Amino acid sequence: MLSNLTPQLFFGQMLIGLINGSFYAMLSMGLAIIFGLMNVVNFAHGVQYMLGAFVAWLLLNMLGINYWGALVIAPIVVACLGLVMERLVLKPLQNLDHLYSLLATYSVALIVEGIVRQQYGSTGLPYQLPISGGINLGFMFMPWYRLWVVVFSLVTCLGTWLLIEHTKLGAYLRAANENPAIVESFGINVPRMVTLTYAFGVGLAALSGVLAAPIYQVSPSMGSSIMIVIFAVVVIGGMGSIIGAVATGYLLGLAEALTKVFYPQGANMVIFVVMILALVLRPRGIFTSSEAAR
């Protein structure tokens, strides 16, 4: 099998890995942000990603709004839905065991995916590439759109990280994560911040969904299938560590691609194998400091 390993095949797979990794990174970053502040494992993250893609598809096919418009509008629409969901579903549960909020977001995921499936069927809907063509790099062909996705997601991850680690707003967020009562006593409206953070995380998921629409088809199950991987990514990267989530996301995307080249049957299992190894060797997560876990 290795004899027919051409550079085109190899780099082609690595590009796919990088693309998948970009989505893993963006989604697990959103999950980590939400978990960091609210201690909520947002099981609905997958369907919010799917909704982003779906809203983009609806905007194009109902209102004629193109990809670039959707890239702005869809995340805002889905973030507003997230806002409502936080107020109606998560807020009543915030003082209970965190397992309840996990299960509540799971039920929302079931409902949303079911409704979309009921309305649009379970087959994928195509979404046209907004930028066609590409560039021949000599060793491989790089479509412009894929380059755009990789760059855009890197910039988004870096920007979000800077926002949280190096701005005043981010400092409030991190402080509220440590001790909400004290932050509130400084006159900061913590509940509103929590709601907006959730909406921000949801918006990020929807943004990834719009980015993904032209690459993967727009289908109701796109969210739940990526969610399965994201959970493993977050377990490996350590809950609530943004940089850990992003780095693990990219690395696992590439690891998956490498496996696809050398051992195709194992491609959809490699991430879980890595996860189990990580759990056995570093039971508290790779990127978490030892006292932060648990």
Task: Tell me how far, at minimum, the Cβ of 4 lies from other proteins, in Å.
Answer: 22
Smallest separation (angstroms) from other proteins to the CB of 147: 31
Contact assessment for residue 226 and residue 49, using Cβ atoms and an 8 Å cutoff: yes
User: 281 Cβ partners below 8 Å, 6+ apart?
Assistant: none
> CA–CA separation, 52 vs 68, rounded Å?
13
Interacting residues with other proteins (CB under 8 A): 39, 41, 89, 92-93, 96-100, 102-104, 106-111, 113-115, 117-118, 224, 228, 231-232, 234-235, 239, 265, 268-269, 272-273, 275-276, 279-280, 283, 294
Question: Which long-range CB contacts under 8 A does 172-179 form with residues at least 24 apart?
Answer: 173/36, 173/37, 173/197, 174/36, 176/37, 177/36, 177/37, 177/240
- Smallest separation (angstroms) from other proteins to the CB of 219: 14
Nearest distance, CB of residue 268 and other proteins, angstroms: 5
Minimum CB separation of residue 235 from other proteins in Å reads 5
Q: How far apart are CA 129 and CA 131, in angstroms?
A: 6
Min CB(227)–other proteins separation in Å: 9
**In the bound complex, what is the minimum distance in angstroms from residue 117's beta carbon to other proteins?**
5
Residues 83, 199 contacting (CB under 8 angstroms): yes
